[in-house]
Amino acid sequence: MEVRIQAIHFDASERLEAFIAKKAERLARHNTAISVVDVTLKVVKPETAMNKEAVLKVNIPTHEELVATKVADTFEEAVDLAIEALDRQLEKKKERK
């Protein structure tokens, strides 16, 4: 599975990228046909807490796109929350079939 990370207006550290790649691998449990996970990271309002936004997009083989957007204190926390949301979405898709 390919994980494409785009950090807007900052450079993501290698540690953060490795963390995201590891977490994204969890999504393959629900659907092994997932080939690409797009991750967009950005700082929403630098002067406040809860200003790190993570947007995760997953294209599944049925030509549908699942998206989860979460905002938290850290990028790691935002990615964790978005992965959980995508887990639930993928689980619902699996149950419908």
Domains and CATH numbers, the chain: 2-96 (3.30.160.100)
* 64-72: strand order across its sheet: 2-7, 36-43, 52-60, 64-72
Q: Write down the pLDDT at residue 97.
A: 67
pTM: 0.89
Q: What is the pLDDT of residue 60?
A: 81
Supply the pLDDT for residue 5.
96
Cβ atoms within 10 Å, residue 75: 22
The residue with greater pLDDT, 62 or 6, is 6
Whether 22 contacts 37, CB under 8 Å:
no
pLDDT at 37: 93
> What integer pLDDT is reported at residue 51 of this predicted model?
92
- Indicate whether 6 pLDDT > 90: yes
| pLDDT tens, position by position, 11-70 | 999 999 999 999 998 888 877 788 889 999 999 877 788 899 999 999 887 778 999 999
Q: Residue holding tokens 């997932």? A: 34
Q: What CA–CA distance (Å, rounded) separates 2 from 46?
A: 30
